Amino acid sequence: MSDHSQVLALSGGVGGAKLALGLAKVLAPEQLTIAANTADDFCHLGFPVSPDLDTVMYTLAGLNNAELGWGLANESWQFMDALQTLGGETWFRLGDRDIATHTFRRQQREAGFSLSEITAQLCTALNIQQRLIPMTDDPVATQVLDGEQWLDFQDYFVRQQCEPNVSQARFNGIENAVIAPDLAGLLDVAAADNSLKAIIICPSNPFVSVAPILSLPGMVDKLIQARAPVIAVAPIVGGQAIKGPTAKMMQALDMPVSALGVAEHYTKRYPGLIDGFIIDHVDAAARADVEALGMRVLLADSVMTSEQHKRNLAKDCIAFARQF
């Protein structure tokens, strides 16, 4: 492994997967490792579902459903249709082909494989050459606070379509969750040599996608100790979330819904972690304020509406990291 050859991306679902795909397009496969949030994993209809991990996996395999933003392209829904006839739960939709992934995962789990191992098996079967790692092999379950009631994440996110005004998130099990061995190993090595070129925090929801990863015991320390700049990409552009409930959550948390608001959040919550912050050109006015928080800033086109945009943002991230 040559010096400064590796890039580690920390990702949630859709937004993170887009940048991960961009990185996959501009790096050699062996240069890229993606660690995905697993705190939104849950058992549904008896299937162990890993939404963020699978979104990244399907995206890297070129099999993702771009229209829906989740699941597989060319998916069919016969299972759901038949289950509805039987009176089963249909609020979280599992496609016929997607079920093969969860069935495979369930079988391999019962056979004693870890989520890391199963993810590697799935990636091999889907011809994914990059390394995709769940943040942990241990169960972690996000809940969000709606008034005085804690809601399971998928209940909030899918069943209730992010309608509730949630003011807080917690990650049950996080205090006992261990960083996935391959991820810990990569970071430990990177603390001792120059193997890592950049750590990129993808433009994912800071509160429910990135926070679980950063909340794993020891994770922030490992990221700081790794000899690589930590670059975060703002998931808020022009005061709006590119996708999902980030903006709405920031409002509920009384935070300014802006790239600056995200930068402030990261700085306050994880002091000393982030070296560089990428904001969109439309947010250029926030540059000085973000820099005043102690981070370097890069202006970029961060809305990834085409494959070329994904490549460009990936290249921007890597070039930015070289400046440190």
| Interface with its own copies, residue 103, by CB under 8 A | yes
| Interface with its own copies, residue 29, by CB under 8 A | no
The β-bridge partners of 233 are: 278
Q: Which of residues 248-277 bind its own copies (CB under 8 A)?
A: none
Residue 185 three-state SS: helix
Cα(152)–Cα(138) distance, integer angstroms: 17
Span from 40-48, 161-169, 203-211, 290-298 in contact with its own copies (CB under 8 A): 40-48
Span from 18-26, 69-77, 243-251, 301-309 in contact with its own copies (CB under 8 A): 69-77
Cα(317)–Cα(8) distance, integer angstroms: 11
CB of 72 to its own copies, least distance (A): 8
Q: In this complex, which beta carbon is closest to its own copies, that of residue 47 or of residue 113?
A: 47
Name the amino acid, one letter, at 8.
L
| Interface with its own copies, residue 79, by CB under 8 A | yes
Handedness of CA 281, 282, 283, 288 (dihedral sign): positive
Q: How many CB atoms lie within 10 A of CB 65?
A: 17
Span from 30-38, 77-85, 216-224, 242-250 in contact with its own copies (CB under 8 A): 77-85
How is residue 163 written in tokens? Answer: 């309608």
| Interface with its own copies, residue 106, by CB under 8 A | yes
Size of residue set near its own copies by CB under 8 A: 32
Q: In this complex, which beta carbon is closest to its own copies, that of residue 114 or of residue 121?
A: 121
Name the amino acid, one letter, at 120.
A
| Interface with its own copies, residue 88, by CB under 8 A | yes
Cα(56)–Cα(59) distance, integer angstroms: 5
Handedness of CA 131, 206, 160, 73 (dihedral sign): negative
Q: Which of 241, 190, 173, 223 is nearest to 14 (CA)?
A: 241
Q: In this complex, which beta carbon is closest to its own copies, that of residue 61 or of residue 145?
A: 61
Instruction: Write out 230-282 in H/E/C secondary structure.
Output: EEEECCEECCEECCCCHHHHHHHCCCCCCHHHHHHHHHHHCCCCCCEEEEEHH
| Interface with its own copies, residue 82, by CB under 8 A | yes
CB of 105 to its own copies, least distance (A): 9
Q: Which of residues 120-139 bind its own copies (CB under 8 A)?
A: 121-122, 125-126
| Interface with its own copies, residue 92, by CB under 8 A | no
Q: In this complex, which beta carbon is closest to its own copies, that of residue 83 or of residue 184?
A: 83
Cα(114)–Cα(175) distance, integer angstroms: 19
| Interface with its own copies, residue 83, by CB under 8 A | yes
CB of 123 to its own copies, least distance (A): 11
Query: Can you give the binding site for its own copies, defined by CB under 8 A?
Result: 45-47, 72, 75-76, 78-83, 85-88, 95-101, 103-104, 106-107, 110, 121-122, 125-126
